[in-house]
Amino acid sequence: MLSIIQQHIHQFLDHLSHEKNYSFHTISAYENDLRQFHQFLGRHFSGKSFDYSDIDHITIRLFLGDLIEEGKSKQSVVRKLAAIRSFLKFLVKKKIIEVNPGSHIVTPRLPKKLPTFLDESYVDRMMNLPDRTTAGGLRDRAILELLYGTGIRLSELVCLCLGNIDFNNETIKVLGKGRKHRIIPLGRKAKEALRNYLTQRESFFTDQATEEDRNAVFLSARGQRIYSKAVYLIVRKYMSQVSDLVKKSPHVLRHSFATHMLNRGADLRAVKELLGHESLSTTQLYTHVTVDRLKRIYEQAHPKA
C-alpha cells in the first residue's frame, strides 16, 4: 500500500504543477510534507498491510502530534495539515477514496503576520542600482520594475512570454494560481524598462536556447528561460544594498506594490483583482499595514497623541 500511496503523491504533485500552476517552491514544500506523512504511515502501521480506509482523522492527529513533539513550529504543522488535506481531496476527486478524513480536523489558529514591504524611497534607490549600460543590468532593472510595478508573483514573471506583453494597450497578461489568466496595467516605468531590455534581449541567445526559451521574456546568461532561483538572487542582490530587512525576496516587492497602492488611496477590491487574490480577506492584510503606518505618523506628529 505504501508504494501505491507514493504513486498517488507523484500524481498529485503533477496535478499541482500542470493543472493548478503552483510554484516550484510550493510543490517542493508539499512534496516534503507528504513524504514525512508517508514515512509516518509506515511507522504507524508497522509495515503491515493497510488500506486508505484505515487512515482516519485520528491517524492524521497522531501525525500532527508527532510533529509538535519534534518541536515543529505551529506554522509548519498547519502547512503540513493543508498538504495532507489537499492530497486527500485530490484522492476523493479521483474516486480513489470516498471521504476526506482531514476535513474534520480543525486548523490551529495562527497569528496573522503582516506583510513585509519596502518604503517608497528604498524602492526608488533600488531601481537605480542596476547598470543600464549592460544587457544584464537592463534585464535586472526590467525584472525589478515589473515585479514592483505590477505586483505579479515570481512564478508569473518567470512564465511570461513575449506574446503576453501588449505595449499598445499598456497591459500584460499573466497566468496565475489555478491557471487563471488576468490582465494587469503596465505602468510607465515598467514599460520603459521592458522596452529598454528587449532591445538587448537577443544578446542572451545561445545555442543551448530552445524555441520555447526564445519565446520567454526574461532569459538567463545561457539564453534559457530564467528560473525562479535566479530571479530571487537578483532581487536579493539589489534589495540588500538598500535595506536591512531580514526577508529579501520578489514577494516583498509584491507586498510593497499592494501597500503603496493602498497608501495612495487605491480601492481594496481593485488591488485584490490586480494581485489575483481569491479572497478579499487576503488583500485586507495590507490594510493593517497602512493603518499601523498611519498610527505611527499620528503619534509622531500630533501634539496630543
Higher pLDDT, 149 or 298: 149
Catalytic residue among 251, 255, 260, 272: 251
Domain boundaries for CATH 1.10.443.10 within the chain: 120-249
Picking from 138, 147, 145, 158, the residue whose alpha carbon sits closest to that of residue 204 is 138
List phi, psi (to 5°) of 106.
Answer: -75, 130
Higher pLDDT, 251 or 24: 251
- The set of cell numbers assigned to 209 is 536556447
Q: What's residue 299's pLDDT?
A: 76
List phi, psi (to 5°) of 166.
Answer: -120, 95
Catalytic site residue 277? yes
Higher pLDDT, 275 or 25: 275
Catalytic residue among 132, 222, 277, 293: 277
Averaged pLDDT of the chain: 90
Domain boundaries for CATH 1.10.150.130 within the chain: 2-104
Supply the CATH classification number for the domain 2-104: 1.10.150.130
Asked whether the beta carbons of 180 and 276 are under 8 A apart, the reply is: yes
Catalytic site residue 286? yes
List phi, psi (to 5°) of 213.
Answer: -60, -40
Span 45-66, pLDDT tens digits: 876 677 888 899 999 999 999 9
> pLDDT grade, residue 141 (50/70/90)?
very high
> pLDDT grade, residue 188 (50/70/90)?
very high
Asked whether the beta carbons of 110 and 75 are under 8 A apart, the reply is: yes
Query: Residue 1 has what DSSP assignment?
Result: -
How many CB atoms lie under 10 A from the CB of residue 7? 9
Catalytic residue among 201, 254, 255, 260: 254
d(CA 73, CA 8) in angstroms, rounded, equals 27
Asked whether the beta carbons of 111 and 166 are under 8 A apart, the reply is: no
> pLDDT grade, residue 2 (50/70/90)?
low
Q: What's residue 292's pLDDT?
A: 65
Mean pLDDT calculated for residue range 269-277: 93
Mean pLDDT calculated for residue range 199-225: 92
HSE (side-chain half, CA atoms, 13 Å) at 170? 10
Which pTM was predicted?
0.72
Is residue 305 pLDDT above 60, yes or no? no
Catalytic site residue 153? yes
- The set of cell numbers assigned to 103 is 476535513
Catalytic residue among 80, 153, 191, 201: 153
**DSSP codes joined into one string, 76-107:** HHHHHHHHHHHHHHHHHHTTSSSS-GGGGSPP
Q: What's residue 218's pLDDT?
A: 97
Q: At what angle do helices 280-301 and 268-275 cross, to 10 degrees?
A: 130
* Strand stretches in 66-224, DSSP E: 165-166, 171-175, 181-185
Catalytic residue among 30, 148, 238, 286: 286
Catalytic site residue 38? no
Is residue 286 pLDDT above 90, yes or no? no
d(CA 302, CA 305) in angstroms, rounded, equals 5
Picking from 7, 95, 3, 102, the residue whose alpha carbon sits closest to that of residue 49 is 3
> pLDDT grade, residue 107 (50/70/90)?
confident
124-133: long-range contacts at Cβ-Cβ below 8 A with a sequence spacing of 24 or more?
125/242, 126/238, 126/239, 126/241, 126/242, 126/243, 127/189, 129/238, 129/241, 129/242, 130/238, 132/196
Supply the CATH classification number for the domain 120-249: 1.10.443.10
Q: What's residue 209's pLDDT?
A: 83
